[in-house]
Amino acid sequence: MNLRLIAIGAGVLIILSLPLAGAMAGPDFAGQDDGKGGGLLSTLGLSDPSRPKGKPSPAARPAQPGPPVQPRTDARCGPEVSSQHGVEAQTCVLVGEGSTWGRSYYRNTSGRALDAVLTMMGPAGRTVQIRCVVGPGDEPGLCETPRDDSAGGPEGYSAVAEFAVPDDEGALLLRSGSNSPAPGDG
């Protein structure tokens, strides 16, 4: 057998086993003072020299259980509405982390692309408007205004989404509002 191949294979095995040896040594091994410069991980240059001795590495700290904490977002939504043309929508005002924005959830089963205009109205005449292209299909989508610093409480905001055919006539197929009454409420 070729000795060069055996030597290369042995070298690869040694290199691949070094991380395993470090992991088996535990997180405190790098911080132990063995009188020879800090142990295997320090010798290989794998320890963090800026970390005080005896302190575990950040990777060795126990992980917090569960998903990361998400900031709270409050939503004020109007009713889910649908049109005979195959468009369904629900429009909301969202508030979170000192920002307010509008969002419209929709589904377009009309068989053709539509234009949507989402308008967010706030205190003191503040208005933001965004256009979204609504592709055909049964998959839900959303149209959302940019987030803006809140100016007052969420009750001072409203959002309206209008879905129309993208042609010269622009026939309105559906209007959905964040503070619209539910169908049959008046």
The pTM (predicted TM-score) of the whole model is: 0.60
- The whole-angstrom separation of Cα 89 and Cα 109 is 11
Q: Tell me how far CA of residue 91 lies from CA of 84, 109, 163, 185, in angstroms.
A: 18, 18, 12, 17
pLDDT bracket for residue 72 (50, 70, 90): confident
pLDDT bracket for residue 181 (50, 70, 90): low
Q: Tell me how far CA of residue 115 lies from CA of 143, 147, 151, 167, in angstroms.
A: 11, 21, 29, 9
The amino acid occupying position 146 is P
Pair type for strands 148-149 and 99-108: antiparallel
Question: 176 vs 17, which has greater pLDDT?
Answer: 176
Number of residues that make up the chain: 186
pLDDT bracket for residue 18 (50, 70, 90): low
Q: How many angstroms from the chain centroid is the CA of residue 17?
A: 38
What's the pLDDT score for residue 54?
Answer: 52
